[in-house]
A and B are shown apart, each in its own frame.
Chain A
């Protein structure tokens, strides 16, 4: 009787309900998006639900994370969610994972499920989830929110595009604010998460048109929806697949960009808090004059870290932009952030400074 309203729908019937009971769905994050996703999937009777979240319930979560109440405060979210969901539906299996999702555990975990749902709240996890879904060849139901707007899509579904086909690399850390920094309308993740749950059920039931190859942009204030077409970028997907064998060993640090960040010399010059670093060897000419330059040859980079001003942005240059690029990579691995490579060589920099001599006072 529990699933009567599904079963009497000719589009679902007992056969469809059996498909739902056999489905295994992993939900990443049991927060603003995760709560409504889990609530509807549990109620619908998804046979096996996985919940991964290392966080604990906080008072500020209750405004939108609707599975929790005062009694859940301080409890792990995956565990607290399970408690509520098992009360809602005791006929399903709920697996909880109270650790952080990382490169080392993601692939093994994803292999246990049919569909992955992203309800995470940061780019590091979103790119990790996307890449692991590609590697495991699992459909990924994506949802993300910003203040009053939401983005929803289904990635990696029947050879469709992935998140990297839309945004190839994560934005620089700290450039895109999060709900905890700027706030979010409480009902918004409810709407977006419910749309994600709907996509999950459509995939399980093979019903309607799955939101693959399209991004739905929802605006809660104007109620204007846009559906934008996403094309598969084969090169981006291949570059993820290439990492398959050493995916587990990848560090989960945020800066997983494929190419190091570059900065044009003229843009670097306009920044106030910047340290210019020449990574050429001491004998190389021309010397860059008229601006403050720190000399750290690439060969001595790792033993000269004390010369780097951690309070400033670092703009590195060399003869052609190759060594500076390499130096940025090395510094990143040493967890020294805010380093940029100037693609112009020293010769071009000297020429530029000569030409613009009167315009800058640095």
Chain B
């Protein structure tokens, strides 16, 4: 399954990408994350939350969507 992955803030910096399309045969969002981790080593210590089809979800959730977004917390003001 082709998954469109969007990156924000420090995550986009670590991957040097704003988005990419990856191929995933797993059934969970965690499977997508594993592929992303393997591809982008700099992500390993980064904190983020995951959205599937524009909704924040637990990574244990079943992969049902075509779009995943990785969003880090911002503290600046």
Using a CB–CB cutoff of 8 Å, the interface residues on chain A facing chain B are 29, 31-34, 118-123, 126, 143-147, 149-151, 166-167, 170-172, 175-179, 184, 189, 215, 217, 222, 226-231
Instruction: Indicate if B59 sits at the interface (CB-CB under 8 A).
Output: no
A126 touches B75 (CB 8 A): yes
Shortest Cβ distance from A119 into B: residue: B77
User: Which residues of B are found within 8 Å of A33, using beta-carbon distances?
Assistant: 77
On whether the beta carbons of B8 and A217 are closer than 8 Å, the reply is yes
In the complex formed, the residue of A with least CB distance to B44 is A267
**Which one, B21-29, B30-38, B65-73, is touching chain A?**
B65-73
Report the nearest B residue to A192, measured CB to CB.
B77
Q: In the assembled complex, how far is the CB of residue A291 from the closest CB belonging to chain B, in whole angstroms?
A: 21
Q: State the interface size on chain B (CB cutoff 8 A).
A: 21
A146-B10 contact in complex given A167-B49, A175-B45, A176-B47, C-beta closer than 8 Å:
yes
Query: A146: nearest residue on chain B (CB-CB)?
Result: B74
A119 proximity list for chain B (CB < 8 A) = 77
A121 touches B77 (CB 8 A): yes
Q: Given A32-B76, A144-B77, A151-B71, list of 12 further CB < 8 A pairs?
A: A32-B77, A123-B73, A144-B74, A144-B75, A145-B77, A167-B49, A170-B73, A171-B73, A189-B76, A215-B71, A226-B54, A228-B51
Give complex CA distance A228, B9 in Å.
15
CB <8 Å contact, B77 and A31: yes
Residues on B with C-beta less than 8 A from A145 are 74, 76-77
